[in-house]
Amino acid sequence: MSKLNAMSSAETVANVREVEDSAVTWRDYVTISKTGIVMSNLITTFAGLYLATHYTGTTLVANAWIAFMALLGSALIIAGASALNNFIDRDIDHLMERTKERPTVNGRLTGKQTLTYGLAVSIAGTAALAVASLMAALIGVIGLIIYVVLYTMWTKRTTTLNTIVGSFSGAVPPLIGWAAIDPGLHPYAWSLFLIMFIWQPPHFLALAMRRADEYKAAGIPMLPVVAGFALTKRQIIWYIAALIPVSLLVADFGFIYTAAAVILGGGWLIYGIRGLKTKDDMKWATGMFIYSLNYLTIMFVLMVLVHMF
């Protein structure tokens, strides 16, 4: 009798643990918020903020509250957009290795929970940006609509131009940061936007090459899937070649920045050209993807540093 009771108790404990393990936690919401993307975008948002204070003759300290709300709002609206992306893509995410364990796929978050969270966080982010400036909020909402509606809901599943469409939304963070301080948007703000816009296609096309089989299985018409690796590599090279002069639109930032833009851009271009003859496309694409991340981080951090000293 005691043995049966022990077995029953063990089963009860196991069932309780199973329920606890399957319960929704804050980590699930963090996962669908894509915190890595949020953090990388906050670097460019901060660059926009800092440069705007410099060129308007004020300081970040004097605008601490505005800067805080701009960064908070940007983080929230990007997290909200990411969650809405997870909500929309939950019917295909199980077909891709890198997305099949998302809470929206494994059942830890329902569609309703994901949608509610995405909308609530997006609204909160917009409100925070509005506290900073109405222009920052407007830009944030435009970026949100482009990413969720024009990219995720439409072009992602219908055309290879999806990368270009997505690049518009991915390029707005520095504009948001600048608009929080200077709603008039100095030409330098638009230069930062262009740098971000041109940077994204080679970055995401390299990723698409690495995940081509997964995108094909999910029916997503990324360029490597539709046109093959050879054309994709040529496109990547053309975008990098265009990025070098675009990055020099802000050559007024000084010699150190200009030298870095030429060296980093030139190195990326040379590495890209080498890909035309490589026998290991996956290794090359991985290297290009990593280089692109380092390029963006170094360039935007450097933009801030050269204005500090």
The answer to whether residue 85 scores a pLDDT higher than 60 is yes
In whole angstroms, give the CA distance from residue 140 to residue 137: 5
Q: Which of these ranges, 13-17, 58-62, 256-260, 267-271, has the smallest mean pLDDT?
A: 13-17
Task: Return the amino acid letter for 12.
Answer: T
Please give the pLDDT value at position 22: 55
Are the beta carbons of 141 and 127 closer than 8 angstroms? no
CA contacts within 13 A on the Cβ side of 217: 14
Rounded mean pLDDT, 100-104: 86
Would you state the pLDDT for residue 241?
97
In this structure, are residues 160 and 224 in contact, taking their beta carbons and an 8 Å threshold? no
Whole-number Å distance between alpha carbons of 263 and 173: 25
pLDDT of 7 strictly over 70: no
Q: Is the pLDDT of residue 296 over 70?
A: yes
Residue 207 CB partners (closer than 8 Å, separation 6+)? 285, 289
Nearest to 308 by CA among 47, 88, 64: 47
Place of tokens 């496309």: 281
Q: Is the pLDDT of residue 4 over 80?
A: no
**Reported pTM:** 0.88
Q: Quickly state the pLDDT bin for 95 (edges 50, 70, 90).
A: confident
96 Ramachandran zone, left/alpha/beta (phi>0; psi -120 to 50): beta
- Pull the structure tokens for residue 120: 């609530």
**Among 11-25, 186-200, 282-296, where is mean pLDDT lowest?**
11-25
Mean pLDDT of 161-167: 95
- pLDDT averaged over every residue in the chain: 91
pLDDT band at 139 (very low <50, low <70, confident <90, very high): very high
2 pLDDT above the threshold of 80: no
Q: Check residue 6 and give its pLDDT.
A: 40
Fold assignment, 26-185: Tetracycline Repressor; domain 2 (1.10.357)
18-41 average pLDDT score: 79
DSSP 91: G
Residue % of the chain over a pLDDT of 70 = 93
pLDDT at 100 (0 to 100): 81
pLDDT in tens, 209-227: 999 999 999 999 999 999 9
Cα–Cα distance between 11 and 17 in angstroms, integer? 10
- 255 confidence band (pLDDT: 50, 70, 90): very high
Q: Where are the domains of the chain?
A: 26-185, 186-309
Q: What is the pLDDT of residue 48?
A: 97
% of the chain at pLDDT higher than 90: 81
Gap between the Cα atoms of 53 and 182, Å rounded? 8
d(CA 272, CA 205): 12
